[in-house]
Structure 1
Amino acid sequence: MPSNNKEVQSPTENSLIECEEQDGKVKLKKELGLLEGVAIVLGIMFGSGIFISPKGVIQEVDSVGFSLVIWVLCGLLSMIGALCYAELGTAIPKSGGDYAYIHEAFGPLPSFLYLWAANLIFVPTTNSIMGLTFAKYVIQPFFPNCDMPDVGVRLVAAAVICFLSFINGYNVKATLKLQNVFMFCKIGALVSIIMIGVAWMGMGNVSHFENAFANSNTNPGKIAKAFYSGIFTYSGWNYLNFMTEELRNPFVNLPRAIYISLPLVTGIYVLANTAYLSVLTVDEMISTDAIAVTFGNAILGKFAWILPIMVAISAFGGLSVHIMASSRMLYVGARNGHFPSFLSHLNIKKNTPVPSLFFLNGLSLLMLCTSDIHLLIEYCTIVESAFVMLSVAGLLYLRYTQPDLPRPIKVNIFFPIAFVAICLFLIVLPILDTPLALCGGALCTLSGIPFYYFGIHVKQKPKWFQNFMRSLTVFSQKIFASAHEEK
C-alpha cells in the first residue's frame, strides 16, 4: 500500500494552514469553532444511547438506586477520560484521535490494529446501532400492538445511514449547520422528559424510589456489563479529537468544548434516568426496547407520539456527527499509509473525505445483519474500551519517554492511572459472563496482524498487487473526483 505520510504539525504550521484556507488547495479546512466543537460532542453523546441503554444498565444491577449510581460513575469516568484526552489532543494536535495518540506512543502496529478494529467493529457497529434506533422509533407508532417487521427496520436504518453519508460528503458546512440545529432539538427532547418526570414526582409519585437498593446485584461481571451500557451512552466525548486539524485554535477550543459538554451531559443523563424510573417499574424498563415510547404511553396519553419523533431526531443527529468524525479517523490512517492510499483522498470540490465516507458506509450496512441492539452494544464497547485504555496508557508512556513534549494542558498523574485501572477492571471481569463477545472482538482485532505485515511491513509487493491497488486508486479518483491532500 503506497504511503502518504504527513508529519505532526506544530502550532505555527497550524496557524499557516489557517491563513491559507482560501488558497484553493485540496486540504482539510479549519471551519470548526467552539460552538461547533460543543455541538459535535453533544451531537454524538445525545444520540440514541440514552433511549436504549437504561434497559441494559438496570437489567444487570436489578435495582433503581444502583442503576443511578452506575450512571453517575459512568459520567465521572468519562470526565476523567476527557481530561486525559485534552492533554493528548493539545500535545499531539493531529486529527485521528486515538489512532494518532497510539501511533505516537506505541508505533505503527498497535495504531494499525486500532484502525483495523475501529473499521471492522466499533465505528460501523455504532453507526448501525444509531440507524436501528432511528428506524425503530420511526416505525414504532405504526405498529402499536404488534412487533415491528425486522426487514423493514433494517431497510429504514440502511436508508438513513446512506443518506447521512452522502450529506457528510457533499458539504461540511451544511452538516455543521445541521448539527447546531439538532443539538438544541435533542437537548429540548431530554429536558422535556426530565420536566415530565419532575412534575410526576412533584405530584407525590415517588414510590419507585423506596428501598432503592433492594435486590441489587453485586456480581462484578454483571456490574461491568452494566457499565458497558452506560459507557456506550456517554461515548463520543473523544470524537472531537478526531478533527483537531479542522478546529480553530485547538489549544483553547478543544478543552473548553470538553469542559462545557461533559458536566452538562452527566447531569442530563442522571435526571433523564430518574424521570424514567419515576414512571416505570424495573420490570417495565427491562421488558421494553423503546423506553421513551413506553414512558410516553404511560404518562402522556394521546400526546405519546411526540416522544418517538424526538428520539428519532436525536438518533438522526447523533448518527450524522458520528459518520463525520469517524471518517476523519480513517482518512488520517490512510494518509499515514495504514490503509489503501485512495482512502486518504479528498473530493477536489468539497474538500471532504468522500472515499472514506463511502467505505465506512458499506461496512455499516454489513453490520445490519442483526437488529439486536444490545448484542451490538456489548460487542462494540468491549473492544472500544480496550483501545481507549491503550490511548490513555500512551499518555503515561509519553510522560516517561518524552517529558519535554509541549503540553499546553497537563493533568494530574492520578487521573490517567485511575482511568487505566478502571478500564482494565471493566475489560477483564466480564470474561466469564460474555466470553464469546470478548473473544470475538479480540480475534477480529488480532486478525489485522497479517494484513499489517503484508500491506505495510513488506516493502516489495507482488506485481499483481501493485497493479490492482493502482487500478483501484484510479477508479476511486474517477468515481469520487478525489485527489491527495496538498501540503
Structure 2
Amino acid sequence: METKVIKPSENGNNDDKVSNNSTSTGSGVGLKRELGLFNSVTLIVGCIIGSGIFLSPKSVITNTGSVGLSLVVWSLSGVFSLVGALCFAELGTTIPKSGGEYSYLMAAFGPFPAFLLLWVTLIIINPTGQTIVALTFAEYVIQPFFTIADCPAPDSVIRIIAVLCLAILALVNAWSVPWATKVQDIFTIAKLLALVAIIITGFIYLIRGETTNFQNSFEGSESGEKIALAFYGGLFSYAGWNYLNYLTEEVKNPYRTLPLAIAIAIPLITVIYILANIAYFAVLTEEELMQSDAVALTFAVKAYGPVAWIMPICVAMSTFGSVNGGYLSLSRIFYVGAREGQLPKFMEMIQVKQNTPFPSLFFTLIMSILYVFVPTIDTLLNYFSFMTWLAIGMAVVGQIYLRFKQPDLKRPIKFPIILPISFVVMCAFLVIMGTVAAPMDTLVGLLITLSGIPVYFVFVKWQTKPAFFENAIEGTTHFFQKLFLVAISDSKED
C-alpha cells in the first residue's frame, strides 16, 4: 500500500508559478537550481579545507621522513583527488541526479548495494563526520579565552558549543539555500585568506634565508607501509572533493558548471596546500613539525608571537564553514534515498515556503547532536573510513561498467577509460591497506554495514506489509507534514 502524501495542489494552491531554475513541476514545491559557478567552487573548496591542513601535516612528515617526500605526497594526493573528481564529473553529467555515489550505485548496480551505502551514511558516516568537525570548531573558538585564563576548556562547554554550531547551521540551511551558500562563500573566503597569510609569512622567512629544511630535502625518506600511511594523512585533508555531486539537481547548468567547478577548485586547493606546507617548513624545524599535533598553531606561536591567538579563530572559521558545507551537500543523500523509496517518505518532502529539505536536515541535526555526547566517536568514524573509499571506488567501478553495458548512454563529458581504471586501483589499494592496518575496525565496520540487510528486506523489499504497518507509516508521514509544513516535491529529472 502506497502512502498518500499531501501536495499543495490538493489544497487548491495551483496558481504558484514555478521558477525557470526550479527542478519542480506543477506545485512549485521543490529544490531549485540556485548554485552558480562561484557557489559551486566555494562549496568544494569550503568542504575540503576544514581542519586537516591546519592540524594534520604532522602525519605526512612523520611517515615520509623527509621534507621533499612530504611535498611529493601532498602533490600526488591532490592529483589523485583531481582524478577522482574528474571521474565524478563524468558520472554527474551522465547521471544528473543529486545524491552522489548513492545515485551512481543505484544506476549501475541496483537498489541493494545503494541501500547499504545509504544505511551506513545515515547512521554513522554523515552524523559523526558533522559532529567531529563541530567539536573541532568548539575547541578552537573558545581556546583563546581559556588560554588567557591559563586553564583547559571544560569538556561540557565544548560539547554545548558544538551543539549550538550544529543547530545554528541546520537552521540556516533549513531557512534558505541562498543563505546557506552565502555562509559557505564567506567562510571559504575567510579560510583562504588565513592560508594566504600563512603562505606569505612562510615566503618572508624564505626570503630571509630560512631554507635549512629544504637542503638535502629527500634525506631520511621512508618507504613501504609508511608511505601508504602518509597518503592517508594527505588524502584526509583533501576529503570532500565529491560533495558537489550531492547537489547536482541544484546546480545551474550542471553540464558546464560541475566539471568547470572541479577543474578550478581541486588544482587551486592543491597549489594552496603545497605552498602552505612550504611555509610550515620555512618557519618550523622538522622536529617541531613532527612533535606538533596542531601545526598551524605551533606555526602561529613562532611566527606571530603575541597575536598567535588569531590562528585558533582561523581554524574555527574553517571548521564552521565545513559543517555548513556538510549540511548543504550530505543532507541531500537522504532526500534522494527517500525519493527512491528507500527511506521514509517524509524525508523527501520540502518545506513549502522555504523550498528546503527540512526533514532531511532535521534528521541530520538530531543524529549529529546524539553523537556529540558519545566519547568514542573517533573510533566509530574509523570503522567507516575504509567504507568511504570502498563506496567511492565502487561508484567509479559503476562508471566503467556502464561504459560497456550502456555504451550509447548520453555522456556530455567522457574521459579516457584509463582515468577511472587507475582511480579504482588506487581506491582498492587504500581499502586493502586500511584493512591490513586496522583489521578489527574493518570487521566491525563491515558488520554494522551488513546490519542494513534485514532493514532493507523488511522496510524496502517487502511490498505486502500488514495494514497496521502501512497505517503507522502513513500516520507518521502526515504527522511530520503538519509539524514541519512540508509537502512532497514534484521533481523531474533533467
With normalisation by structure 2, the TM-score equals 0.90
Deviation larger for 380-389 or 54-63: 54-63
Question: What are the within-5 Å matches in structure 2 for residues 443-458 of structure 1?
Answer: 443-458=447-462
Q: What CA distance in whole angstroms lies between the structure 2 residues aligned with 1:265 and 1:122?
A: 24
Alpha-carbon distance in structure 1 between the residues aligned to 2:121 and 2:365: 13
Alpha-carbon distance, 1:52 to partner = 2.4
Q: 1:436 to 1:212 in 2, by over 3 A?
A: farther
Q: Which residue of 2 aligns with 1:152?
A: 157
- Cα distance between partner residues in 1 of 2:299 and 2:141: 16
Equivalent residue runs for 1:395-410 within 5 Å? 395-410=399-414
Q: Decide whether the 8 Å contact of 1:137 with 1:308 is kept in 2.
A: yes
Distance 1:340-1:88 versus aligned 2 partners, 3 A rule: same
- 1:217/1:442 CA distance change after superposition, 3 Å: farther
Supply the distance in 2 between the matched residues of 1:45 and 1:284 (Cα, whole angstroms): 25
Question: Which runs of structure 2 are paired with 1:283-302 in the superposition (5 Å)?
Answer: 283-302=287-306
Segment of structure 1 superposing worse, 361-370 or 169-178: 361-370
2:149 counterpart of 1:138 = no
Q: 1:161 aligns with which of 140, 157, 166?
A: 166
Which residue number corresponds to residue 318 of structure 2? Answer: 314
User: Counterpart of 2:84?
Assistant: 81
In structure 2, the residue matched to 1:213 is 218
Partner deviation per Cα, 1:18-40 (whole Å, 9 max, x = no partner):
37879761111111111111121
Corresponding residue for residue 177 of structure 1: 182
Q: Name the SS of the counterpart of 2:459 in structure 1.
A: helix
Secondary structure at the counterpart of residue 350 of structure 2: strand
Does the CA-based 8 Å contact 2:124-2:381 persist in structure 1?
no
Answer yes or no: is the 8 Å Cα contact 1:224–1:430 preserved in 2: no
Query: 1:340: how far off?
Result: 1.0
Distance 1:113 1:120 in 2: 11
Shift in Å at residue 170 of structure 1? 0.9
Shift in CA distance, 485/121, structure 1 to aligned 2, threshold 3 Å? same
Residue from 470, 476, 482 that aligns with 1:466: 470
1:412 to 1:19, Cα distance in 2 relative to 1, 3 A:
same
Shift of 1:359: 0.8
> Cα gap change, 1:215/1:367 in structure 2, threshold over 3 Å: closer, same or farther?
farther
Indicate if the aligned counterparts of 1:229 and 1:378 stay in contact, CA closer than 8 A: no
- 1:196 alignment counterpart: 201
408-417 vs 306-315, greater mean Cα deviation: 306-315
Q: Give 1:339 shift.
A: 0.9
Hey, what does 1:8 align to over in structure 2?
Answer: none
Question: Could you tell me how far apart the structure 2 residues matched to 1:171 and 1:140 are?
Answer: 31
Separation in structure 2 between the aligned mates of residue 211 and residue 132 of structure 1, nearest angstrom:
39
Checking the alignment, whether the CA contact within 8 Å between 2:27 and 2:490 is kept in structure 1 is no
CA contact (8 A) 1:137 1:290 kept: no
RMSD (Å), alpha carbons? 2.4
Determine the C-alpha separation between the residues in 2 that align with 1:309 and 1:470.
47
Q: Distance in 2 between matches of 1:297 and 1:149?
A: 23
Structure 2 counterpart SS, 1:25: coil
Change (3 A) 1:374 1:227: farther
Amino acid at match of 1:435: P
Q: 1:391 aligns with which of 395, 407, 428?
A: 395
Post-superposition CA distance 1:227-257 (Å, at most 9, x none): 2232222122111111111111111111111
Distance apart, 1:81 and its partner CA: 0.5
Give deviations 1:95-143, integer Å, cap 9, x for gaps: 1111111100000011111111222232222212221221121122133
C-alpha distance in structure 1 between counterparts of 2:352 and 2:370, whole Å? 29
For residues 124 and 32 of structure 2, the distance between their equivalents in structure 1, rounded to whole angstroms, comes to 29
Instruction: Percent identity, please.
Output: 45
2-structure distance, mates of 1:452, 1:141: 48
Q: CA deviation at 1:405?
A: 0.2
Give 1:276 deviation, angstroms: 1.8
Instruction: Give the corresponding residue for 1:104.
Output: 107
Q: Say if 1:291 and 1:241 are closer, same or farther in 2 by CA, change over 3 A.
A: same
Asked if the contact 1:127/1:364 (under 8 Å) is kept, the reply is: yes
Residues in 1 aligned to 2:449 and 2:235: alpha-carbon distance in whole angstroms: 20
- Mapped partners of 2:304, 2:376: distance in 1: 28
Q: Indicate whether 1:232 and 2:256 are aligned.
A: no
Matched, 1:29 2:61: no
Contact persistence 1:122–1:383 (CA under 8 A): no
- Quote the residue 1:340 is aligned against: 344
Deviation at 1:283, TM superposition (A): 4.1
In 1, the alpha carbon distance for the partners of 2:22 and 2:480 equals 30
Q: State how far apart, in whole Å, the 2-side matches of 1:430 and 1:183 are.
A: 31
Q: 1:72 aligns with which of 71, 75, 82?
A: 75
Identify unmatched segments of 5+ residues in structure 2.
Answer: 5-17
1:353 and 2:357 are equivalent in the alignment:
yes
Identify if the C-alpha distance between structure 1 residues 361 and 411 changes in structure 2 by more than 3 Å, giving closer, same or farther.
same
Task: Name the SS of the counterpart of 1:126 in structure 2.
Answer: helix
C-alpha contact 2:350 2:488 (8 A) present in aligned 1: yes
Of residues 124, 134, 152, the one that matches 1:121 is 124
TM-superposed deviation, 1:309? 1.3
Seen in structure 2, the aligned counterparts of structure 1 residues 439 and 283 have a Cα distance that, compared at 3 Å, is farther
Change (3 A) 1:434 1:65: farther
Q: Is the 8 A contact 1:47 1:314 kept in 2?
A: yes
Deviation of 1:375 after TM superposition, in Å, equals 5.0
Q: Which of 139-148 and 127-136 deviates more?
A: 139-148
1:204 Cα offset (Å): 1.5
User: What are the superposed Cα offsets for residues 184-208 of structure 1, whole Å, 9 maximum, x if unpaired?
Assistant: 2121111111111111122122223
8 A Cα contact 2:247 2:332, kept in partner: yes
Q: 1:19 to 1:132 in 2, by over 3 A?
A: closer
Distance 1:16 1:83 in 2: 30
What is the TM-score when the length of structure 1 is the normalising length? Answer: 0.92
2:487 aligns to what? Answer: 483
Query: What amino acid sits opposite 1:411 in the alignment?
Result: F
Following superposition, the deviation at residue 154 of structure 1 comes to 2.2
Aligned equivalents of 1:24, 1:442: Cα separation in 2: 42
Distance in 2 of aligned mates of 1:113 and 1:17: 35
CA distance in 2, matches of 1:179, 1:473: 32
Q: Do the aligned residues in 2 keep the contact of 1:27 with 1:346 (CA within 8 Å)? A: yes
SS where residue 93 of structure 1 aligns? coil
2:423 aligns with one of 410, 419, 423: 419
Give 2:390's aligned amino acid. Answer: A
Quote the residue 2:55 is aligned against.
52
Alpha-carbon separation, structure 2, partners of 1:20 and 1:408: 20
Structure 1: tracts of 5 or more residues without a match: 5-14
Q: 1:387: Cα distance to partner? A: 0.4
CA displacement at 1:48 relative to structure 2: 2.2
How far is the alpha carbon of 1:156 from its aligned partner? Answer: 1.6
Whole-angstrom CA distance in 2 between matches of 1:338 and 1:356: 13
